[in-house]
Structure 1
Amino acid sequence: MKLKEQKDPLLPLARTIIFLLILFVVIVFFIASNKKNNEEQVKDFSVESSRLLHFYDTSEGKILITDQRGKKISVVGNEGGFMRAVLRSLAKERISFGVGPEEPFEITASKNGLISIIDPVTGRKIDVSSFGKNNAEIFTTLLFKTENLIYKEEG
């Protein structure tokens, strides 16, 4: 004599509920851990120091850099290729807004060491640190030095 197994009609429903609960817990855990990581990253990108500077092209083909008060900070000669490329990129968009060098650019250093140049007029930001240490140092020097820096010309 064989006994027929009787299947509980609620068993598939119970399995589905357990599966959905486990899935819910995994999703909540993932969202919570991701939010924590994002908050830590935002803290790292908060600005530690910043400086507003004006950049002018001179008739000799150099870049004159002044602070907000008009004090000469630096003159960059022929070796400033990276700086020129960054500034031209920002200036091109700025010209379309009808604004020139009379409005300053902002150089910032974040808590995680990222160096950026921001155009407050257009809102455009270039993270110069992503172009390597040597290129970032050009802007880092301008951010932290207060005395006049005259870069030697090549040739």
Structure 2
Amino acid sequence: EDPEAIIAGIGSSIPFGNVRHELYDTVHWLDFRHAMAGAVGLLREHAVFAGLSTGAAHLAASWEAARDPGRLHLVLGADTGHRYAERVFTRHAEALDPAGLRPRTITSPADLRPPWSVMEWAGRAAPDAARTAEGDAPSPVPTVELLP
């Protein structure tokens, strides 16, 4: 349990029918302090005022990019920092240095441990806890073309 978990989109216990778990290669789980490090680091390094889910995504993608620099890494920033101005950005001096943070590699969701775990998901189906009501079909996968 993360006592400061205020990452609404990531920390939600609501199963979303539009998540296609089988499309993921790797999954990262981060606690509040690591997401905060990513959000504050993103603001410091790139002047992007984003929320905790974007900070978490940035930290995870930065680690992935360092691990595999030849691969394309894309971060979708789903939130702005306004919601977290008081709880995160006024506490910027408390933020961990992203450069020194590393995840713990796990092989099963049962092995999840704070502060940061990473697992090769390898196209697995959704875990039972993430399944939606019967009849909920995930959204179709859009075709994306990457331009040179």
Tell me if both proteins adopt one fold, taking TM over 0.5 as the criterion.
no
TM-score with structure 2 setting the length: 0.24
Higher RCO (CA 8 Å, separation ≥ 6 residues): 2
The structure whose residues are more often helix, as a share, is: 1
Q: Which has the higher strand share?
A: 1
